[in-house]
Every structure is written in C-alpha cells, then in structure tokens.
C-alpha cells in the first residue's frame, strides 16, 4: 500500500464519475429530478449526495470546513452548477492526493467527529471510493431504467485500459 497506488485508484474513481456524468447530462430535467424509490431519491439527489460526501470526507482529512452543500431540491436545471461544484471537489481531492506521502497512510488525521478519530487515512481513502462505487451502481441502474445505454464500472476494465 502506497500513495501512488491511491492516486491511481482515484484516477479510476474520477474517470467513472465523469462517465456517469455524461449519461446524467443527457437526461431531460424531468428525468434528472424524478423520484426514485431507492436510496437517496432522484438521480440529481444521488449525484449531489455523492459529491457532498466526498467534500465532507476530504475536508475532515484536512481539518477544514466543507463547502456549503447544494440544495436538495430545485425547480430549475442546475446541472452546470453541480458540474462546476463537482470539478472543484475533484480538484481539492487531487491536490490532497498530490501531496500524499506513503507514511501518511497510517496516520489518523481526523479530529472531528468523534467516531472518525480512530480511522487510518488509508481506510478513509478506500471508503470514499467504495461509497461512490455503490452510488454509481445505483445511478447506472436508474439510468438504465430510463433507457440510457450504460457500461460496467469495474475497476479491472480501467486497469486494462490504463496500464502502469
């Protein structure tokens, strides 16, 4: 386990997020916001949850305040604002990972909230991607149900296409 492995793993994560976003961008506003009876709600609510959670975790790792969360419901199409916010969160994560050193992985950098103080950095880094994989799978299913031609997000396919 080393910092370079995590940077590579997060490159996969960001690539899969962008693929899902391409599908999301193709939806009508109504499809984007229609209620889904599973998990976080609409596709919009799933996407907003995914990016807000990442912002919170990486803010905790740095001991800083996360960005203000996006509103849960809207009456106008705000995909441009969501994409811009997601790009800022990704940029923040990439900057954090660029400075990551191998010896940091076994540190416990979170001081608040109490239940996260015992977590090693490597555990948080894995959790964030695992959490996103779960929500991307839910999004891919919802997109499929709307008639979108989606593809697998398996990590190994990313590895095949992005040899070290």
**Overall number of domains in the chain:** 1
125 close to 13: Cβ distance less than 8 angstroms: no
Give pLDDT, residue 117: 94
Q: Which long-range contacts (CB under 8 A, 24 or more apart) does 100-103 make?
A: 100/3, 100/6, 100/7, 101/3, 102/2, 102/3
User: What confidence tens digit (pLDDT) does each residue in 80-112 have?
Assistant: 999 999 999 999 999 999 999 999 999 999 998
Enter the pTM of the model.
0.92
Whether the predicted pLDDT of 74 surpasses 80:
no
67 close to 90: Cβ distance less than 8 angstroms: no
User: What confidence tens digit (pLDDT) does each residue in 37-72 have?
Assistant: 777 789 999 999 999 999 999 999 999 998 888 887
What letter does residue 54 receive in the DSSP assignment? H
Give pLDDT, residue 70: 83
What letter does residue 102 receive in the DSSP assignment? G
CATH number at residue 130: 1.20.120.450
Domain range enclosing 45: 3-161
């Amino acid at each position: 386990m080393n910092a370079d492995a995590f940077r590579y793993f997060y490159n996969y994560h960001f690539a899969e997020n962008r693929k899902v976003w391409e599908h999301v961008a193709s939806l009508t506003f109504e499809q984007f916001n229609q209620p889904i009876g599973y998990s976080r709600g609409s596709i919009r609510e799933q996407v907003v949850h995914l990016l807000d959670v990442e912002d919170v975790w990486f803010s905790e790792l740095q001991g800083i305040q996360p960005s203000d969360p996006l509103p849960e419901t809207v009456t106008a199409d705000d995909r441009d604002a969501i994409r811009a916010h997601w790009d800022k969160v990704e940029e923040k994560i990439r900057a954090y990972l660029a400075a990551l050193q191998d010896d940091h992985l076994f540190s416990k950098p979170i001081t608040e909230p109490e239940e996260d103080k015992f977590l090693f950095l490597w555990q948080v880094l894995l959790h964030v991607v695992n959490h996103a994989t779960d929500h991307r799978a839910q999004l891919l299913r919802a997109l499929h149900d709307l008639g979108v031609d989606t593809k697998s997000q398996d990590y190994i396919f990313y590895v095949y296409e992005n040899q070290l």
